[in-house]
Amino acid sequence: MSGQSQRGINFTEGEIFGRGAPDREGYTPPRSGLPAIDPESALPAGTLRGQLEGFPSLSEPEVTRHYTRMSQWNFAVDLNFYPLGSCTMKYNPRINEAVARIGGFTTLHPMAPQEQAQGTLQVIDDLEKWLCQISGMDAATLQPAAGAQGELVGLLMIRAALTARGNPRKKVLLPDSSHGTNPASAVYCGYEAVTLPSGPDGRVDMAQLDRLMDDETAALMVTNPNTLGIFESDIIQISKLVHDRGGFIYCDGANLNAFLGKARFGDMGVDVAHVNLHKTFSTPHGGGGPGSGPVVVKQELAPYLPFPVVAQGDDGAYSLEYDRPQSVGRAHGFFGNTGVLLRAAAYILSMGPQGLAQVAEAAVVNANYIRARLGDHYHIPYPGRCMHELVITDKLQSEYGVSTLDIAKALIDRGFHPPTIYFPTITRGAMMIEPTETESLETLDSFCEAMIEIADLAKADPESIKAAPVTTVRTRLDEATAARRPQLRCSLCG
Amino acid sequence: MEFPKDLKYSKEHEWVRVEDGDTAIIGITDFAQDELGDIVFVEAPKVGRDLKAGESFGVAESVKTVSDLYSPVAGQVIEVNPELEGSPELVNESPFDKGWIIKLKMEDPKELENLLSAQDYRNLAQKG
Ligand SMILES: Cc1ncc(COP(=O)(O)O)c(C=O)c1O
């Protein structure tokens, strides 16, 4: 089953500059009927430019082919398995796209009067309620544009609540396995990021927590299940200890896929959490498109939510509430990334409560299946079952000079996106594999077989793995030189 | 892998070489550069900054990861290796010599006694 990446037609494609011909044109817009304006009289001299030397004049098919060819160098979940750990690269159902394209949503002007935006406001209100139900929390904001922004919004709310109690405190505690955005958000919010060393089993070490959680610590930012794919089974005791010392629990909910419909942040003593719609709720990652990182909170933090807040009046009409004196402010223009919210709402409705719980079951079973199949071929640093993702290392392969990076590149030749590598940083040579629930047994098997073949070759013919990838348009890139001496300017810019 | 005997080491994988009694030259060890892989950027502090022992003074970024740098001793930064901005690879190629990162005027040279010997550091590194 491997070898799916081989293509008969692999286009190389160079820069677009210097191509075409001066008189060649693409699309010409029709005349507008408005009076022509002379730029020289309308704009300051310094802003005017004459001819741009070498700027390409191209036909529409030339432009289309240029970008389409380059897009084929890319990889997508629509092409094959994409087990990028921590990113939950599940398949994005097409029904979501159909819903997000409904004219009543797409043609709504963001400045339209609220009476004309009732449909969109209702979706926001419903989605907030569903996310609260799923997470066991009391209130939500859908404004944050990604998980990282959700973290900042959540910490700002904690800071506001502590300030109202009389002391915002100085530090935020973070397990050493946490995602890099967590300490970054803490520092951005004006806190000192203090590292909490994990225990030998990869979970929060209660003794270390007890030692470090003091009366200057505002919050513990914990990820559950954590980035090693391990459930923080002491979470109730953890929350109790932090609450007893006057701190808050921020839960990074990026890994919610592992217990969707099975367990809730609210029942674990969490005060505030973010969830990633572009992971758990099947909205697309990237492609230039936006993400969405809603934040859910317990009642105590609700007054601090970003404004405006959607409210429903007694007459059933929805409105935007701006009068929120304790709010931490706006986090996003208008209603957040509405197109993403619509996709997530469509997903929740099409799955239903039982469907969502099956997501978690299949995601966990799939990860444990891979774990069981690879266990004889790769070093597995943390014993016991995992949740929705597993971490393996290159310890066995490094004896033959083959590293995690080499294994990742060899997977590309076999048609798979590599897993997340060298993260979490506390595990040497980590490969973090997250299959998600949307993959068939055949796909999981073909991935495992590719991994086993790589492990066998690492021993028998290590050079073949170190040479990978060989089936791509560009083979092994010199990442170090690219980072040390980047050349980011096109030839036109000199 | 090298563990020069005339240096002092920290658990965070920095080395210290003492010059003129109270000047500490600080870099990261051969083991550390090997673990990090190709280093692509070193963020060093400004000259004049006062550092506490154990305080983070910058970061080393490699193709794999980003790692904080910690000062093994307290003191004031008196010089930063000017070569590293253009050639961060010096940390990989010559970790104990051309790849030094900062020089400190030490507050209390007695702090050096808290650091590890080459033998102790080798044991720590090889334990993995
Ligand atoms: C555990 C974890 N937390 C936070 C984030 C940040 O989310 P975002 O990329 O949406 O900002 C990620 C993203 O990969 C993550 O994996």
Rounded to the nearest angstrom, the minimum Cα separation between A469 and chain B is 18
The reply to whether A162 and A193 lie within a common domain is yes
Concatenate the DSSP letters of all residues of B27-94 into one string.
EE-HHHHHHH-SEEEEE-PPTT-EE-TT-EEEEEEESS-EEEEE-SS-EEEEEE-GGGTT-TTHHHH-
pTM, two decimals, is: 0.90
The reply to whether A325 and A177 lie within a common domain is yes
The reply to whether A308 and A173 lie within a common domain is yes
Query: pLDDT value at position A4?
Result: 42
- Probe residue for ligand 1, chosen from A276, A420, A432 as the CB with the greatest number of ligand atoms within 8 Å: A276
The reply to whether A242 and A203 lie within a common domain is yes
Among partner residues A180, A425, A483, which is closest to B63 by beta-carbon distance? A483
What ligand 1 atom has the least distance to the C-alpha of A252?
3
Q: Say which CATH number the domain at A345 has.
A: 3.40.640.10
Query: pLDDT value at position A5?
Result: 42
The reply to whether A149 and A280 lie within a common domain is yes
What ligand 1 atom has the least distance to the C-alpha of A291?
10
Domain count, chain A: 3
Instruction: Print the domain residue range for A479.
Output: 354-483
The reply to whether A285 and A338 lie within a common domain is yes
Q: How far is CA A340 from CA A106, A113, A120, A436, in A?
A: 12, 22, 12, 20
Nearest to residue A1, comparing CAs of A388, A441, A404, A474? A441
Domain end among A314, A349, A384: A349
pLDDT tens per residue, range A277-334: 999 999 998 655 689 999 999 999 999 999 999 999 999 999 999 999 999 999 999 8
Q: Would residue A82 count as lying in a domain?
A: no
DSSP conformation class of A15: -
pLDDT tens per residue, range A439-494: 999 999 999 999 999 999 999 999 999 999 998 888 999 999 999 988 887 766 55
Q: Say which CATH number the domain at A431 has.
A: 3.90.1150.10
Q: Would residue A206 count as lying in a domain?
A: yes
Per-residue pLDDT of chain B (128 residues; tens, 9 = 90+): 999 999 999 999 999 999 999 999 999 999 999 999 999 999 999 999 999 999 999 999 999 888 999 999 999 999 999 999 999 999 999 999 999 999 999 999 999 999 999 999 999 998 86
Q: B31, B38, B43: which to substitute to probe chain A, counting the most A Cβ within 10 Å?
A: B38
H-helix or E-strand containing A100? Answer: helix A94-100
Q: ipTM value of the model?
A: 0.83
Strand order in the sheet with A390-393: A390-393, A430-433, A420-421
Task: With beta carbons under 8 A apart, name residues in chain A contacting B63.
Answer: 479-480, 483
Q: Would residue A409 count as lying in a domain?
A: yes
A306 in the Ramachandran plot: left (φ > 0), alpha (ψ -120 to 50) or beta? Answer: beta
Angle formed at CA A351 by CA A350 and CA A353, multiple of 5 degrees: 125
B38/A425 touch (CB, cutoff 8 Å), yes or no:
no
Check: CB of residue A86 under 8 Å from CB of residue A430. no
Encode A289-341 in three state secondary structure: CCCCCCEEECHHHHHHCCCCEEEECCCCCEEEECCCCCCCCCCCCCCCCHHHH
The reply to whether A218 and A325 lie within a common domain is yes
Q: Would residue A79 count as lying in a domain?
A: no
List alpha helices for A329-478, DSSP H: 338-374, 395-398, 404-413, 441-460, 462-466
Distance between Cα A140 and ligand 1 center (Å): 18
Check: CB of residue A405 under 8 Å from CB of residue A476. no
The reply to whether A243 and A141 lie within a common domain is yes
The reply to whether A368 and A458 lie within a common domain is yes
Domain end among A349, A375, A404: A349
Check: CB of residue B115 under 8 Å from CB of residue B10. yes
B63/A428 touch (CB, cutoff 8 Å), yes or no:
no
Query: pLDDT value at position A491?
Result: 64
Among partner residues B65, B66, B88, which is closest to A484 by beta-carbon distance? B88
Q: Give the binding-site residues of ligand 1, using a 6 Å CB cut-off.
A: A 86-87, 146-148, 179, 181, 223, 227, 252, 254, 276, 291, 293
Residues of chain A with pLDDT under 70: 1-8, 286-289, 491-494
Query: pLDDT value at position B29?
Result: 97
The reply to whether A185 and A287 lie within a common domain is yes
Nearest to residue A87, comparing CAs of A434, A448, A440? A434
Q: Which residues contact A109 (CB under 8 A, 6 or more apart)?
A: none
Residue A114: other Cβ atoms inside 10 A = 14
Q: Which residues contact A63 (CB under 8 A, 6 or more apart)?
A: A16, A26
Query: pLDDT value at position B69?
Result: 96
**CATH level 2 (architecture), domain B8-108:** Beta Barrel (2.40)
The reply to whether A30 and A159 lie within a common domain is no
Q: B13, B40, B84: which to substitute to probe chain A, counting the most A Cβ within 10 Å?
A: B40
Q: Would residue A86 count as lying in a domain?
A: no
A-to-B residue pairs, Cβ atoms closer than 8 angstroms: 26
Q: Would residue A342 count as lying in a domain?
A: yes
Q: What is the mean pLDDT of chain A?
A: 93
Check: CB of residue A295 under 8 Å from CB of residue A274. yes
Q: Would residue A414 count as lying in a domain?
A: yes
Spatial separation of the C-alpha atoms in residues A349 and A131, rounded to whole Å: 12
The reply to whether A107 and A145 lie within a common domain is yes
Q: Would residue A83 count as lying in a domain?
A: no
